[in-house]
Amino acid sequence: MASPSQVLAILLFLLLCFPLLVKPAPGENIAVGSVITADKSNREAAAWFSRSGLFAFGFYPVENEFAVGIWFVPNNTVIWTADRDSELLPESSKLNFTEDGLQIPSSNGDRSIANISTTNSVKLASASMQDCGNFVIQDVNNYIIWQTFDYPTDTLMAGQILVAGNKMVSSVSATDQSSGRFQMVMQEDGNYVAYPVNAPATSAHFYWSSNTSGDGYTGILLNEDGDLFPIRYPNATQNSTLLSSATYLARIEPDGFLRTYNISSNSMQLTKTLPADDFGVNKCSIKGACGPNSYCNFTATAAAADSISTGFFQGKADCLCFPGFDYTDWKNRYMGCQRNFSMGQFIKDNNISYSIAKIANISWSDDPYAYTDDTTEDECGESCSEDSNCYAALFFAHQRCSKQRHPLLYGRLSESTVAFLKVGSGEMPLPPQSSLGEIVDVVPKRKTLFFIFAVASALFFSVAVTIFFFYKNRSPSYQKLCRNMETGLAGGLAPRSFTHQQLVKATDCFTKSLGNGSFSTVFKGEIPLNNGEMMPIAVKRLDEKLSEETEKGFRTEMRAVGRAHHRNVVRLLGFCHEGPKWLLIYEYMSRGSLDNLIFPSDKTQALPSWKERANIAMDVAKGILYLHEGCETTIIHSDIKPHNVLVGDDGTAKIGDLGLAKLLRPRQSKTYTRQRGTFWYQAPEWCREASEPVSPKVDVYSFGVLLLELITCRTRFLGERVNDCVILTDLAYKCLMESKLEQLVPAGEDVDKVELKKMVMVALWCVQEEPGHRKSMKEVVRMLGGNMSVAFPPDSVF
Ligand SMILES: *[C@@H]1O[C@H](CO)[C@@H](O)[C@H](O)[C@H]1NC(C)=O
Ligand SMILES: *[C@@H]1O[C@H](CO)[C@@H](O)[C@H](O)[C@H]1NC(C)=O
Ligand SMILES: *[C@@H]1O[C@H](CO)[C@@H](O)[C@H](O)[C@H]1NC(C)=O
Ligand SMILES: *[C@@H]1O[C@H](CO)[C@@H](O)[C@H](O)[C@H]1NC(C)=O
Ligand SMILES: *[C@@H]1O[C@H](CO)[C@@H](O)[C@H](O)[C@H]1NC(C)=O
Ligand SMILES: *[C@@H]1O[C@H](CO)[C@@H](O)[C@H](O)[C@H]1NC(C)=O
Ligand SMILES: *[C@@H]1O[C@H](CO)[C@@H](O)[C@H](O)[C@H]1NC(C)=O
Ligand SMILES: *[C@@H]1O[C@H](CO)[C@@H](O)[C@H](O)[C@H]1NC(C)=O
Ligand SMILES: *[C@@H]1O[C@H](CO)[C@@H](O)[C@H](O)[C@H]1NC(C)=O
Ligand SMILES: *[C@@H]1O[C@H](CO)[C@@H](O)[C@H](O)[C@H]1NC(C)=O
Ligand SMILES: *[C@@H]1O[C@H](CO)[C@@H](O)[C@H](O)[C@H]1NC(C)=O
């Protein structure tokens, strides 16, 4: 990509910036013990300036308080902020440069900013604000211990590198530098991409991508021409000295665009915009410009046409709710919309009342749970109307009808599409909007409420559930909270609340037991729909005695399943909690749990065919992958086994029973809590020291065991000696080594030998003793799907 002369130019350029060894000029050196004071009337005393005076490090005002950061003095534009999401500081706060870092003394203990870490032997000696916009701290040997260039916020300065694995996150607004809604991420795979904060890192959510995945890039540099230039780090970070001045800055801005400015003339001139479509004018080209269930409508003003040459934004973008929805927050319309009625009323007295709204030339991010080709517009609307899973359908390209649940993401104007949306009719009005204020308040926030873009109604859900459980024990107005919860949930997949009486009726007094789960019994029931049909449901009644365990399981399951909306995860329809009674209502899976199918007690019962079993394996793998990677939070199921896999009429398998699930916070990859799943399927690390962390790899292990059981229709402990083995994993490995795989499948079964070998090898990769040796669920899905070759598994399964 880069010619030798370009590389040379970059290296020369880099020699100018990126100091590792700096000999600061007299006067700009900040010595240990230097103190600055937050003071609006005396900005000289509130900052340390660079030699040219163009950059300052110190206190900058935010309304009546202060934040610590770096700004470009001629324009007062902030390029870096320390601890941008923590609390602001009051007037006359002091910042003391000490041997250990930057301290803000206060009566209740010094606050240390920016986590500058020093070891005992290393003491800080000096700091300097450089003319390239970098603030560096050095030790007595002049080694750089810390520099702001290593911790970009929303801005990259010329010469600064965004290293793989790091990102820039936009600010809330020009005046509020806390983390906003969009990010530019330099991925480990060498691709650099822009997408909404909290959205999954998949191409469906990217609004800009460099498409350089696999090219070996390990960083991006804003080069001297103001171009973002991918580099292969660490080659490019040679020793260097100060850049004499800053020439450019690139910033991901509150509206999601990445804009580059020429600052060499001491003012800011826009030179480039990414994405460049529509010359960076159309805010609607940014995914996430409008929140869930709304669409972005851009109207170019007459002036916009002229402005295309200059690139300045002139048109007007507005976020509009889809029919049947109202703004979540009227003051911040970009936050998206929620249903304008509550789910409880949606299925009022078991009577679903809705109509279908039709709008032309509007579409959304197509992520259907089902689609049909070669259909007509009318059929499309009808098929959604008749399907209780369908909340909206999109008819496009004059032939395809794709049906979708909520939320509808990235709505926008389009051509030749027809959208159908289910709209409640004859509904009662919502409870007062104020209840939403409480919900939003739970989001951690520095000053003004701002919206962390949630990919799903998941956020509403989890927050509502938090509130629900927070108040449950203290507030008698449980009913009110249920209502709030439903409105908060208005995303459509919201579980509704049932009374115990309704469930007694639905289940015929809990007579038809379907089986037992962890701390629970499951019953069959049915609820009437308005067309006279009865909808079968599964009601899970949690044991009353184990109150603490029960409650924990209930909460966990609500949180886990409530976040999970996937074809291969059992859907939660509702819940009930009255006194000691805890119940969860699920969609009914007619063929029951997988163990009954593959280990039938009646030996004459036909086993599922090889093809069916292979499909089930893929379904389960996809379901687990979704739990691990598809949600905002990583969900570790921790009890994957055939008993917890349910199979529907059409043979689709779904994962159920999330009562033992663990939720990992974002960026947390392991947890230390433990709770035993089912011994047979447990990964070895469950049994080791309690100090050993548990990661999603425990599910991979259990899946490997399940996969072998599914292949062989035999349980893990064989109960007899087969080919000298008593344990299924040993047998599988032995048969693989001896090329006798046909011994593994039920006698006389006609199987695809290539597929069988692939599946056995995948399973053996999953049951590796060492978690690190196991494949991830993503790899498992790719291998099973034939999109990734499968290497011969190592022999460490014993
Ligand atoms: C800095 O410059 C930009 C672009 O010229 C301008 O939009 C912005 O308002 C300026 N900011 C200040 C504080 O002057
Ligand atoms: C500083 O460290 C604390 C605790 O380790 C962490 O929560 C915080 O995010 C860190 N801040 C920065 C700016 O890295
Ligand atoms: C700054 O920190 C040093 C060392 O911790 C301390 O001796 C000095 O008093 C502090 N100065 C102020 C103004 O707080
Ligand atoms: C990356 O690929 C997408 C889809 O093919 C394309 O729309 C986009 O323009 C490409 N980006 C760049 C920087 O080439
Ligand atoms: C980076 O260094 C490796 C070896 O260290 C070399 O093969 C490669 O060509 C270098 N790349 C650049 C862009 O200099
Ligand atoms: C970079 O600096 C280190 C010492 O920090 C020195 O050993 C090395 O030779 C320097 N490399 C170059 C290319 O100047
Ligand atoms: C950046 O601004 C300087 C000063 O106004 C000018 O000389 C230079 O040509 C500009 N660079 C570009 C690429 O526009
Ligand atoms: C988009 O906005 C324009 C002007 O604000 C309005 O006339 C038009 O009806 C809107 N389009 C849609 C589909 O809402
Ligand atoms: C909800 O929206 C639909 C269509 O937009 C409308 O007919 C209905 O009256 C609204 N309901 C309420 C309670 O506002
Ligand atoms: C259900 O709705 C239909 C039509 O809206 C109505 O005729 C019927 O009486 C309703 N049933 C109940 C139980 O409310
Ligand atoms: C939708 O777009 C098509 C093609 O752009 C146009 O012919 C049609 O009139 C539009 N429909 C509406 C209702 O705006």
3-state helix, strand, coil in the chain (%, to 5): 25, 30, 45
Residues 94 and 115 in one domain: yes
Q: How far is 498 from 402, CA to CA, in rounded Å?
A: 31
Residues 620 and 730 in one domain: yes
Mean pLDDT of 306-321: 63
Lowest mean pLDDT among 120-129, 419-428, 496-505: 419-428
Task: Give the ligand 5 atom nearest the CA of 232.
Answer: 13
Nearest-CA residue for ligand 10 atom 10 is 351
Q: How far is 790 from 763, CA to CA, in rounded Å?
A: 11
Q: Which amino acid appears at position 189 of this protein?
A: D
Q: How far is 344 from 349, CA to CA, in rounded Å?
A: 9
In a domain, residue 295? The reply is no
**Cα(281) to centroid(ligand 4), Å:** 18
In this structure, are strands 316-321 and 294-299 parallel, antiparallel, or unpaired? antiparallel
Q: How far is 196 from 206, CA to CA, in rounded Å?
A: 8
Q: Is 213 in the pocket of ligand 10 (CB under 6 A)?
A: no
Mean pLDDT of 714-724: 80
- Which ligand has its closest atom nearest to the C-alpha of 268? 1
95 confidence band (pLDDT: 50, 70, 90): very high
In a domain, residue 304? The reply is no
Name residues contacting ligand 1 (CB within 6 A).
Answer: 75-77, 268
Task: Give the ligand 6 atom nearest the CA of 21.
Answer: 5
Q: Is 530 in the pocket of ligand 10 (CB under 6 A)?
A: yes
User: What pLDDT, on the 0 to 100 scale, is given for residue 303?
Assistant: 52
Residue 475 CB burial class (10 angstroms; 0-12, 13-18, ≥19): exposed
- Which ligand has its closest atom nearest to the C-alpha of 236? 5
Residue 738 CB burial class (10 angstroms; 0-12, 13-18, ≥19): exposed
Separation of CA 433 from chain center: 27
Nearest-CA residue for ligand 4 atom 6 is 209
Name residues contacting ligand 9 (CB within 6 A).
Answer: 323-324, 340-341, 423, 427, 429
In a domain, residue 311? The reply is no
Domain extent for 531:
475-587
Q: How far is 202 from 217, CA to CA, in rounded Å?
A: 19
Mean pLDDT of 632-641: 83
In a domain, residue 94? The reply is yes
Which two tokens mark 273? Answer: 């915009």
188 confidence band (pLDDT: 50, 70, 90): confident
Mean pLDDT of 112-126: 78
Ramachandran bin of 385, using left for φ above 0, alpha for ψ from -120 to 50, beta for the remaining angles:
alpha
DSSP one-letter code for 569: B
Residues 758 and 684 in one domain: yes
Separation of CA 511 from chain center: 41
In CATH, what number is assigned to the domain containing residue 747? Answer: 1.10.510.10
Q: How far is 728 from 704, CA to CA, in rounded Å?
A: 11
Q: Which range scores top for mean pLDDT: 1-10, 628-637, 731-740?
A: 731-740
Average pLDDT for the chain: 76
Q: How far is 130 from 753, CA to CA, in rounded Å?
A: 66
Name residues contacting ligand 6 (CB within 6 A).
Answer: 20-21, 238-239
* 47-49: strand order across its sheet: 47-49, 55-62, 65-72, 77-81
Q: Annotate 570-591 with b (16+ C-beta within 10 A) or e (fewer).
A: bbbbbbbbeeeebbbbbbbbeb
Q: How far is 658 from 561, CA to CA, in rounded Å?
A: 7
**Cα(487) to centroid(ligand 9), Å:** 14
User: What pLDDT, on the 0 to 100 scale, is given for residue 562?
Assistant: 65
In CATH, what number is assigned to the domain containing residue 50? Answer: 2.90.10.10
Lowest mean pLDDT among 86-90, 115-119, 447-451: 447-451
**Cα(202) to centroid(ligand 5), Å:** 29
In CATH, what number is assigned to the domain containing residue 338? Answer: 3.50.4.10
Nearest-CA residue for ligand 8 atom 10 is 297
In this structure, are strands 572-578 and 496-497 parallel, antiparallel, or unpaired? parallel
Nearest-CA residue for ligand 6 atom 8 is 239
Nearest-CA residue for ligand 8 atom 3 is 299
Q: Are 653 and 619 in contact (CB under 8 A)?
A: yes
DSSP letters, 454-475, are -SSTHHHHHHHHHHHHHHHTT-
Q: How far is 2 from 92, CA to CA, in rounded Å?
A: 50
Task: Give the ligand 4 atom nearest the CA of 211.
Answer: 1
Which two tokens mark 581? Answer: 């009674």
Residues 576 and 635 in one domain: no
Please enumerate in sequence order all residues whose Cβ is within 8 A of that of 760, keeping only pairs 6 or more positions apart, or say none. Answer: 708, 711, 732, 735, 736, 741, 744
- Which ligand has its closest atom nearest to the C-alpha of 114? 2
Which two tokens mark 441? Answer: 């308040």
Residue from 349, 351, 352, 428 to probe ligand 10 pocket by mutation (most atoms less than 8 Å from CB) = 351
The rounded percent of the chain whose pLDDT value lies above 70 is 72
**Cα(318) to centroid(ligand 8), Å:** 9
DSSP letters, 304-320, are HHHHHHHT---SEEEEE
Looking at the structure of the chain, the number of domains it has is: 5
Nearest-CA residue for ligand 7 atom 13 is 225
Query: Which residue reads 């459509």 in tokens?
Result: 492
User: What pLDDT, on the 0 to 100 scale, is given for residue 459?
Assistant: 30
Query: Which residue reads 């072998």 in tokens?
Result: 708
Q: Is 209 in the pocket of ligand 4 (CB under 6 A)?
A: yes
Instruction: List the one residue out of 304, 287, 306 whose CA is nearest residue 295.
Output: 287
In a domain, residue 252? The reply is yes
**Cα(292) to centroid(ligand 8), Å:** 19
Nearest-CA residue for ligand 8 atom 1 is 297
Task: Give the ligand 6 atom nearest the CA of 143.
Answer: 5
Across-strand partners of 62? 65
Q: How far is 219 from 386, CA to CA, in rounded Å?
A: 51
Q: How far is 494 from 515, CA to CA, in rounded Å?
A: 26
Query: Which residue reads 């030699």 in tokens?
Result: 51
In a domain, residue 2? The reply is no
In CATH, what number is assigned to the domain containing residue 491? Answer: 3.30.200.20
Q: 3-class DSSP state for residue 361?
A: strand
Q: Last residue of a domain, which of 245, 276, 307?
A: 276
Lowest mean pLDDT among 100-109, 516-525, 582-591, 737-746: 516-525
Q: How far is 47 from 28, CA to CA, in rounded Å?
A: 12
Angle at CA 461, nearest 5°, toward 459 and 464? 105
Q: Which amino acid appears at position 207 of this protein?
A: Y
Lowest mean pLDDT among 90-99, 402-411, 484-493: 484-493
Q: How far is 139 from 127, CA to CA, in rounded Å?
A: 9
Please enumerate in sequence order all residues whose Cβ is within 8 A of that of 647, keeping only pairs 6 or more positions apart, or say none. Answer: 589, 590, 591, 592, 593, 594, 597, 616, 653, 654
What pTM did the predictor assign? 0.58
In a domain, residue 283? The reply is no
Mean pLDDT of 571-593: 83
Residues 441 and 341 in one domain: yes
Which two tokens mark 54? Answer: 């163009």
666 confidence band (pLDDT: 50, 70, 90): low
pLDDT digits (tens, 9 = 90+) for 314-367: 667 889 998 888 887 788 888 888 776 544 344 444 445 677 889 999 998 877
User: What pLDDT, on the 0 to 100 scale, is given for residue 494?
Assistant: 53
Residues 338 and 192 in one domain: no
Name residues contacting ligand 2 (CB within 6 A).
Answer: 83, 114-115
Q: Which of 639, 649, 650, 724 is catalytic?
A: 639
User: What pLDDT, on the 0 to 100 scale, is given for residue 559?
Assistant: 67
Select the more confidently predicted residue: 12 or 617. Answer: 617
Which two tokens mark 51? Answer: 């030699």
Nearest-CA residue for ligand 5 atom 12 is 235
- Statement: residue 545 has pLDDT above 60: yes
277 confidence band (pLDDT: 50, 70, 90): low
Whether 657 is a known active-site residue: answer no
Q: Last residue of a domain, which of 95, 119, 150?
A: 150
Residues 657 and 721 in one domain: yes
User: What pLDDT, on the 0 to 100 scale, is given for residue 756?
Assistant: 93
Instruction: Report the half-sphere exposure of 469 (CA within 13 A, side-chain side).
Output: 15
**Cα(24) to centroid(ligand 6), Å:** 18
- Dihedral sign computed on CA atoms, order 233, 236, 238, 243: negative
Lowest mean pLDDT among 148-152, 207-211, 626-630, 722-726: 722-726
In a domain, residue 605? The reply is yes
Residues 121 and 185 in one domain: no
Mean pLDDT of 629-644: 83
Query: Which residue reads 């004859």 in tokens?
Result: 426
Residue from 1, 187, 209 to probe ligand 4 pocket by mutation (most atoms less than 8 Å from CB) = 209
641 annotated to bind ligand: no
Residues 755 and 618 in one domain: yes
User: What pLDDT, on the 0 to 100 scale, is given for residue 340?
Assistant: 66
Residues 422 and 490 in one domain: no
Residues 710 and 724 in one domain: yes
Q: 3-class DSSP state for residue 687?
A: helix
Residues 599 and 577 in one domain: no
Task: Give the ligand 8 atom nearest the CA of 413.
Answer: 13
Q: Last residue of a domain, which of 150, 178, 211?
A: 150
